[in-house]
């Protein structure tokens, strides 16, 4: 059951006794989502958000996000062309669940359809992602966050595909397409880097056609940079996507020839993850939605209306051979599908946890003190 805005406001006051709040608005719609959230207006006119996990998975994700935010020090943030939220305070509700108060980050969702060729917003998104990918990986190591090798990334993706296939609800054309891509060593020659890991339209905010902030940092890690483009390449807006990738490349000079193929692969696997999520929580509506989208994608594959997943299918810069792990990748890719399945990804790994606090209309400041 969702917590009322007044309860969340009381928790916010307990988390930051020095603040006085004049107004509160819910950010959670109905009973959906992993968090109960509220937007609060302080008597100073400043805005804050309070987040309270609804389940254990959300609680774990919040703990990881706090560790990630702590790792993003003032020095790191100064190099990013957008704002990252700050933790203002925290408290625990009566059941012991941790509630955290954050500084509000202003902005609207960055809809991929708005990232048109040559647009100011598209260039800003490319620059923002490039800045994230340029963070020193030592930041990740110091915080004890995941630092994945290419072989480990492949292992996780193959294990994920095994679980998707085991549902028996995915067309064989898609399973073949994905397995073929994961076996293609040429796609997986790249340099890992720091990635956000959870970018989507709601987590990357913009104001006046400039990226203003990024939310949901619980998946911060060293991994495949193409993961941060999956939400963009899943739109099918090919001309826009290629232009955005070219803009990204202008800010970073180390990208591999399989970048676009992997971004598309990851976007397609998201449909399989959505199916796994629906099955995990026994939500038939989600299952039906995922199956329908997978069916449409399979039809496109079989009709030849979408291209094969192969290296060299988009703009790319030459990657130095000293930065890849060809032997490791070839050895793993050659045996992964012939050997027993890799260690399965846990339900927690595959759960959809909505970490984003979606922007809403800001409340008018009131002279009456709420808390």
φ and ψ at 205, to 5 degrees? -100, 155
Mean pLDDT across 69-93:
96
- Name the packing angle between helices 259-280 and 150-166 (round to 10°): 40
Q: In this structure, are 97 and 115 located in the same domain? A: no
Residue 319 has a pLDDT of 40
Q: In this structure, are 84 and 190 located in the same domain? A: no
Q: In this structure, are 135 and 64 located in the same domain? A: no
Q: Report CA-CA distances (Å) from 126 to 122, 145, 235, 359.
A: 6, 24, 16, 21
Q: In this structure, are 98 and 133 located in the same domain? A: no
Q: Give residues with Cβ within 8 angstroms of 348, minimum separation 6.
A: 57, 60
What average pLDDT is seen over the chain? 85
CA–CA dist 15, 12 (Å, integer):
5
Could you say which of 257, 285, 303 is where a domain stops? 303
Residue 316 has a pLDDT of 56
Q: Is residue 299 part of a domain?
A: yes
Q: Is residue 332 part of a domain?
A: no
Residue 241 has pLDDT above 70, yes or no: yes
CA–CA dist 329, 327 (Å, integer):
5
Q: Is residue 145 part of a domain?
A: yes
Q: Is residue 350 part of a domain?
A: no
Residue 361 has pLDDT above 80, yes or no: no
Q: Is residue 240 part of a domain?
A: yes
Could you say which of 70, 85, 103 is where a domain stops? 103
Strand partners, 206: 108, 211
User: Residue 91: which CATH number?
Assistant: 3.30.200.20
Confidence of residue 137 (pLDDT cuts 50, 70, 90): very high
The long-range contacts involving 100-104, CB below 8 angstroms and separated by at least 24 positions, are 100/15, 100/50, 100/51, 100/62, 100/66, 101/11, 101/12, 101/15, 101/16, 101/48, 101/49, 101/50, 102/48, 102/49, 102/50, 102/51, 102/357, 103/46, 103/48, 104/39, 104/46, 104/47, 104/48, 104/49
Residue 34 has a pLDDT of 86
User: Residue 247: which CATH number?
Assistant: 3.90.1200.10
164-176 pLDDT per residue, tens: 999 999 999 999 9
Residue 321 has a pLDDT of 35
Q: In this structure, are 62 and 203 located in the same domain? A: no
Residue 355 has pLDDT above 80, yes or no: no
- Number of domains forming the structure of the chain: 2
Residue 70: domain span? 5-103
Residue 344 has pLDDT above 60, yes or no: no
CA–CA dist 203, 356 (Å, integer):
6
- Per DSSP, the three-state class of 335 is helix
Q: In this structure, are 122 and 178 located in the same domain? A: yes
Model pTM score: 0.83
Mean pLDDT across 252-266:
88
- Per DSSP, the three-state class of 317 is coil
How much of the chain exceeds pLDDT 70, in percent? 82
Q: Is residue 149 part of a domain?
A: yes
Strand partners, 39: 25, 49
Q: Pairing state of beta strands 193-195 and 221-223?
A: antiparallel
The mean-pLDDT minimum among 109-118, 160-169, 186-195, 282-291 falls in 109-118
Higher pLDDT, 55 or 213: 213
Q: In this structure, are 39 and 59 located in the same domain? A: yes
Confidence of residue 295 (pLDDT cuts 50, 70, 90): very high
Residue 89 has a pLDDT of 97
Q: In this structure, are 86 and 156 located in the same domain? A: no
Q: Pairing state of beta strands 83-84 and 210-214?
A: parallel
Q: Is residue 47 part of a domain?
A: yes
Residue 253 has a pLDDT of 80
Q: In this structure, are 160 and 237 located in the same domain? A: yes
Could you say which of 303, 321, 342 is where a domain stops? 303
Confidence of residue 286 (pLDDT cuts 50, 70, 90): very high
Confidence of residue 33 (pLDDT cuts 50, 70, 90): confident
Q: In this structure, are 18 and 137 located in the same domain? A: no
Strand order in 98-103's β-sheet?
A: 21-26, 35-42, 47-53, 98-103, 87-92
Residue 123 has a pLDDT of 95
Q: In this structure, are 244 and 97 located in the same domain? A: no
Residue 2 has a pLDDT of 74
Q: In this structure, are 89 and 134 located in the same domain? A: no
Residue 187 has pLDDT above 80, yes or no: yes
Residue 296 has pLDDT above 50, yes or no: yes
Residue 359 has pLDDT above 70, yes or no: no
Q: What is the DSSP letter of 144?
A: T
> How do the residues of the chain divide into helix, strand and coil, expressed in percent and rounded to 5?
45, 15, 40
Residue 114 has a pLDDT of 85
Q: Is residue 36 part of a domain?
A: yes
The mean-pLDDT minimum among 43-57, 198-212, 252-266 falls in 252-266
């Amino acid at each position: 059951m969702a917590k009322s805005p007044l309860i969340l406001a009381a928790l916010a006051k307990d988390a930051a006794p020095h603040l006085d709040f004049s107004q509160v608005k819910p950010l959670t719609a109905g009973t959906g989502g992993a968090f109960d959230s509220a937007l609060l207006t302080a008597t100073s006119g400043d805005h804050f958000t309070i987040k309270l996990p609804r389940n254990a998975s959300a609680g774990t994700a919040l703990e990881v996000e706090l560790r990630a935010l702590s790792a993003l020090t003032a020095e790191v943030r100064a190099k990013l062309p957008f704002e990252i939220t700050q933790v203002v305070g925290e408290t625990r509700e009566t059941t012991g669940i941790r509630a955290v108060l954050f500084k509000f980050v202003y902005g609207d969702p960055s809809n991929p359809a708005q990232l048109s060729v040559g647009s100011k917003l598209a260039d800003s998104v490319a620059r923002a992602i490039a800045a994230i990918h340029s963070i020193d990986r030592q930041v990740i190591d110091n915080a004890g966050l995941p630092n994945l090798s290419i072989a480990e990334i492949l292992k996780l993706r193959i294990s994920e595909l095994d679980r998707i296939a085991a549902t028996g609800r995915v067309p064989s054309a898609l399973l073949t397409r994905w397995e073929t891509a994961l076996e293609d060593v040429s796609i997986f020659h790249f340099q890992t880097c720091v990635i956000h890991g959870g970018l989507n339209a709601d987590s990357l905010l913009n104001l006046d056609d400039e990226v203003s902030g990024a939310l949901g940092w619980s998946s911060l890690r060293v991994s495949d940079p193409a993961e941060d483009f999956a939400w963009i390449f899943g739109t099918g807006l090919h001309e826009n996507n290629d232009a955005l990738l070219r803009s990204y490349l202008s800010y970073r000079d180390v990208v591999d020839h399989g970048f676009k193929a992997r971004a598309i692969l990851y976007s397609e696997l998201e449909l399989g993850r959505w199916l796994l999520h629906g099955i995990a929580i026994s939500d038939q509506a989600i299952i039906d939605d995922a199956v329908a989208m997978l069916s449409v994608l399979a039809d496109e594959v079989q009709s030849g209306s979408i291209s094969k997943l192969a290296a060299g299918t988009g703009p790319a810069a030459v990657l130095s051979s000293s930065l890849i792990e060809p032997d490791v990748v070839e050895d793993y890719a050659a045996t992964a599908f012939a050997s027993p399945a890799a260690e399965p990804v846990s339900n927690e790994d595959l759960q959809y946890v909505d970490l984003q606090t979606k922007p809403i209309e800001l409340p008018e400041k009131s002279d009456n003190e709420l808390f």
